Amino acid sequence: MGFADYCRQAAASFAALPRTETLRLVSHHDADGISAAAIMVSALLRDNRRYALTIVPQLRRELIEQFAKEQHQVFVFCDLGSGQIEDIRELLADRQVYILDHHELQARPEGIWQVNPHCFGIDGGKEISGAGVAYLFARDLSAQNKDLAVIAIIGALGDIQEDKGFTGLNKAILADAVATGTMEVQQGLRFFGAQTRPLHKLLEYSMDYYIPGVSGNESGAIQFLTELGIDLRKGSGWKKAADLSKDDMKDLVAGIILRRHGEQHPEDIIGPVYILPQQKPGSSTRDAREFATLLNACGRLGKASLGIGALLGDKHLTMRALREVTIYRKKIMEAVRWTEEHVPAIERPGDANIIIIDGRGVIGHTVIGTVASIISRSGRFSEGTMVLGIADQEKLLKVSIRKAPRNSGSRPEEESKHKEERNLREFLAAVIADLNAKAGEDTQAEVGGHANAAGAQVPLERAELFVECVKERAEAIDR
């Protein structure tokens, strides 16, 4: 049986559940998990079903123990569950469980519907997101749900599954979104905020595509545009990328490529941009990538319901979500600035295969992952350099790890150094194994995530030992 057939069977089993049942939905708090939840909420409302939803940062055993005390008979886990399936099987043994996930597998126990592409040899890291799995499930419940494909694409963008286009199941889901008229794909500048930010601000904040002398430098950005002969103003306001004439856009692209001359793939700044045509031009919810960032912010701030409201088209909740994200962005910018000033390894490109951002007491656990992402994409490291961020979260050490991508501005001579594919989740799992060995006990540390973005939680009192293990592991890789 293939993935599609299995998903159809799971949906058929779900559809047969009595409507008197209140379904227990549990989803992840990132953009993908929030998108998955919105898809399921929409599908359940359309099907006249009752549900209770909880959005969680991670599915820890204690939480499953809490769920086990509830009266609910049917549980649906979105964008998580596969990594905790042993606990789920044990603690929710007498309940009906559906897992709609794309994370790596722990086990494949009987009696649980585990809709996960990895069960069928499909790469859940690249080819489909948690929202994508929820979408396929919802579409199997009713063809009417085909118009939710756009939400699955927002989720996939949130999980950074897009790389100049989509592959595999994501590609098919995008086709559904385009076919239903809820999404348009255009060629454009792939800078974050192209819809909403004034042009000079867009370039100043270009963290994804580092432009020397322009990124992080407002007057540098203004001077750069002036030198290109591009007028910054439009009437009484600022010009945005969308306002540029074809010729100005050409000049701008050529100018940026010239500035990024060491870059291996200078054309990377141009590529597909995913637009929600029904959203107002200039709004944060018109560009799907920006929408995903809005959702991530909501989730990390513990306001996932605002994100779900925005996805379901609630104007009031969208406004509130936007207000939250403004505060969140400020926090991130402050944390990035702090990191640039205080983490010395950043000044030595290509020198270390791991950069450690020790944000304990300074950077909030809600933003450390985003900060690690931004730093990893700042263009100052050779491909594959790992960026590990740590922050304290009550009695836990929150760990986030990312790696510098190919298009990060790595210089040609550094290109081959860290070429081998490094699975970050496996790396952290190995570190935790080392930690447990050194500590002489199971420290209860937990790992989750993917090859390209992973995280862990470690008891705070083990922080120093953990950092030591990270350094030893990282050094061992290069030998």
- CB closer to Mn ion out of 130 and 359: 130
User: Is 130 an interacting residue with respect to Mn ion (CB under 5 A)?
Assistant: yes
* 101 near Mn ion (CB under 5 A): no
Q: With CB under 5 A as the contact rule, which of the stretches 30-38, 167-175, 237-245, 351-359 interacts with Mn ion?
A: 30-38
Minimum distance, C-beta of residue 80 to Mn ion, in the bound complex (Å): 8
Answer yes or no whether residue 79 interacts with Mn ion by CB under 5 A: yes
Residues 6+ apart with CB under 8 A from 363: 335, 338, 339, 357, 371, 389, 391
Backbone angles phi, psi at 428, to 5 degrees: -65, -40
Q: In the bound complex, what is the minimum distance in angstroms from residue 212's beta carbon to Mn ion? A: 33
Residue 366 CB, nearest approach to Mn ion (Å): 18
Please give the structure tokens belonging to residue 342: 């205080």
If the CB atoms of residues 161 and 196 are measured against Mn ion, the closer one turns out to be 161
**In the complex, minimum distance from the CB of residue 126 to Mn ion, in angstroms, rounded to a whole number:** 12
Candidate residues 127, 140, 159, 248; the one interacting with Mn ion per rule CB under 5 A: 159
Q: Identify which of residues 79 and 434 has a Cβ nearer to Mn ion in the complex.
A: 79
| Minimum distance, C-beta of residue 350 to Mn ion, in the bound complex (Å) | 31
Measured CA to CA, the distance from residue 297 to residue 288 in angstroms comes to 14
Q: Closest CB to Mn ion among 204 and 446?
A: 446
The one segment of 116-124, 135-143, 153-161, 356-364 that binds Mn ion by CB under 5 A: 153-161
Question: Rounded to the nearest whole angstrom, what is the least distance from the CB of residue 359 to Mn ion in the complex?
Answer: 23
Minimum CB distance to Mn ion smaller for 64 or for 152: 152
Q: Which residue from 405, 478, 451, 454 is spatially nearest to 207, judged by alpha carbons?
A: 405
User: Are 382 and 349 contacting, i.e. CB atoms less than 8 angstroms apart?
Assistant: yes
Determine contact, residues 239/198, Cβ cutoff 8 Å: yes
In sequence order, what are the residues at sequence separation of 6 or more whose Cβ sits closer than 8 angstroms to the Cβ of residue 385? 350, 352, 353, 354, 355, 376, 403, 404, 418
> For the chain, what is the radius of gyration of the CA atoms?
22
- Residue whose CB is less far from Mn ion, 115 or 356: 115
> Is 32 one of the binding residues for Mn ion (CB under 5 A)?
yes
User: Do the beta carbons of residue 208 and residue 407 sit within 8 Å?
Assistant: no
Q: What is the rounded CA–CA span in Å between residue 43 and residue 372?
A: 35
Asked whether the beta carbons of 210 and 378 are under 8 A apart, the reply is yes
Q: Using CB under 5 A as the criterion, what x/- string covers residues 399-418 for binding Mn ion?
A: --------------------
Tell me which residues touch Mn ion (CB under 5 A): 32, 79, 130, 159
